[in-house]
């Protein structure tokens, strides 16, 4: 669904502003992620306790999905993303203030809630910019989010090295995010695509959106598994030395970020369906290599391929969902995100369950089937949907 906006600003200006919002969102998340060990040590949490505490974050995220879609369709994504990022960065500071496990659980719930508010609204903004360009540019925005992940991790490492406490670290990052949002707001897309006439806000996703959600679900199973289990795989299966345990995760994140910056160009040249099919196959091949040849070089190669494979799937699916003609873009994104994010939650525990029954290598082999599923499901996308 295409639309036009009345704005004295150029589409390039809007693109830079929305890209900055993606970067700021990623910076906020990676700042938290870089200090998880510090928070664990500060509150004297065991691994099991930490795992239970961390579950409150996705709970908050999932519960925010329908609310965020509704709110965005009511007041617009520019206002919602501003509110969300201010809340996101404020909650980051509150994490640094937590003195008890109960406080951390409640704060992480709010952090997850704000995270998804920012996610849905900033992707709705990206759909607006994409409509102005009339070509695929969604993946490049997600590439900036990934780039922010590296920046946040680097700053976190520096802060840890300087023995800066999480609270002081988070205060600095919150100030950066708030200042950035205050500037970017002025140049963000002022209007979203209009909601179809007489269309209720809460509506069941149609078959096309369900299909897109399933593609995201399968890809995010792979992505979630890599985020949570890549280090364990290198430690226990590859038997890497301590200094190289994080090599698989780094390889995965590197190609994931890089490929997002070329995915839009590939989509324009090859078409969305082919890119999604190829992405699924590359993911499956990468995991298969890591399973069949669990050695340092081959495992790193496999994880490089997985990063490239999963990189574009969710951004491209979001781009298609945001152009649906059956409901408001924000509601379509919320619907697809709900289905897709379930995969992100299912992936890590599925790995653990299968590893307990058989082995970690077998569980990664099963996850490779999700890559094949992405390719098969993508082949069913109709031309008019893309």
C-alpha span between 377 and 365 (Å, rounded): 19
Mean pLDDT of the chain: 86
Other C-beta atoms within 10 Å of 18: how many?
29
Going by pLDDT thresholds of 50, 70 and 90, the confidence category of residue 2 is: very low
> What are the pLDDT digits (tens) for 134-174?
888 888 998 999 889 888 888 888 888 898 999 999 999 99
- pLDDT of 1 > 50? The answer is no
- Domains of the chain as residue ranges with CATH: 11-187 (1.20.1250.20), 207-385 (1.20.1250.20)
Q: Which of 86-90, 219-223, 304-308, 335-339 has the lowest mean pLDDT?
A: 335-339
Locate 169 and state its tokens: 């670290």
For the cut 80, the answer to whether the pLDDT of residue 364 exceeds it is yes
On the question of pLDDT at 84 being above 60, the answer is: yes
**pLDDT band, very low/low/confident/very high, at 232 (cuts 50, 70, 90):** confident
If residue 98 lies in a helix (H) or strand (E), which one and from where to where?
none
pLDDT for position 228 = 73
Mean pLDDT of 208-217: 91
How would residue 204 be classed by pLDDT, with cut points 50, 70 and 90?
Answer: low
Q: Which pLDDT score, from 0 to 100, does residue 203 have?
A: 58
**What count of other Cβ atoms lies within 10 Å of the Cβ of residue 216?**
28
Q: What percent of the chain has pLDDT over 90?
A: 43
Please report the DSSP string for 250-273 in residue order.
HHHHHHHHHHHHHHHHHHHHH-HH
């Amino acid at each position: 669904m295409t639309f036009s906006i009345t704005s004295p600003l150029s589409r390039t200006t809007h693109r830079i502003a929305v890209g900055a919002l993606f970067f700021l969102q990623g910076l906020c998340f990676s700042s938290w992620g870089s200090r998880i060990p510090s928070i664990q040590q500060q509150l004297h949490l065991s691994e099991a306790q930490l795992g239970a505490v961390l579950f409150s974050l996705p709970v908050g995220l999932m519960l925010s999905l329908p609310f965020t879609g509704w709110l965005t369709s009511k007041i617009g994504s520019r206002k919602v993303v501003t509110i969300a990022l201010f809340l996101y960065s404020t909650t980051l500071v509150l994490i640094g203030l937590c003195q008890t496990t109960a406080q951390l659980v409640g704060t992480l719930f709010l952090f997850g809630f704000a995270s998804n508010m920012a996610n849905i609204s900033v992707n709705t903004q990206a759909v607006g910019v994409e409509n102005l360009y009339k070509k695929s540019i969604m993946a490049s925005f997600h590439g900036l989010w990934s780039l922010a992940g590296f920046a946040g991790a680097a700053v976190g490492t520096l802060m840890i090295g300087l023995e800066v406490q999480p609270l002081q670290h988070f205060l600095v990052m919150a100030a950066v995010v708030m200042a950035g949002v205050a500037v970017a707001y002025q140049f963000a897309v002022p209007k979203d695509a209009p909601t179809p006439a007489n269309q209720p806000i809460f509506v069941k996703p149609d078959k096309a959106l369900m299909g897109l959600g399933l593609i995201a679900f399968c890809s995010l199973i792979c992505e979630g598994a890599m985020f949570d289990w890549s280090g364990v795989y290198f430690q226990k299966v590859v038997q890497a030395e301590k200094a190289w345990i994080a090599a698989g995760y780094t390889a995965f994140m590197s190609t994931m970020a890089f490929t997002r910056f070329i995915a839009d160009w590939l989509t324009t040249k090859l078409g969305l369906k082919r890119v999604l099919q190829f992405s699924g196959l590359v993911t499956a091949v990468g995991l298969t290599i890591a399973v069949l040849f669990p050695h340092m070089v081959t495992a790193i190669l496999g994880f490089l391929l997985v990063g490239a494979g999963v990189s574009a799937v969710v951004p491209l699916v979001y781009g298609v969902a945001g152009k649906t003609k059956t409901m408001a873009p924000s509601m379509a994104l919320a619907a697809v995100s709900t289905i897709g994010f379930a995969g992100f939650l299912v992936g890590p525990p599925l790995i653990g369950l299968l590893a307990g029954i058989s082995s970690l290598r077998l569980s990664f082999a099963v996850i490779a089937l999700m890559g094949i599923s992405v390719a098969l499901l993508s082949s069913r996308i109709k031309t008019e949907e893309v």
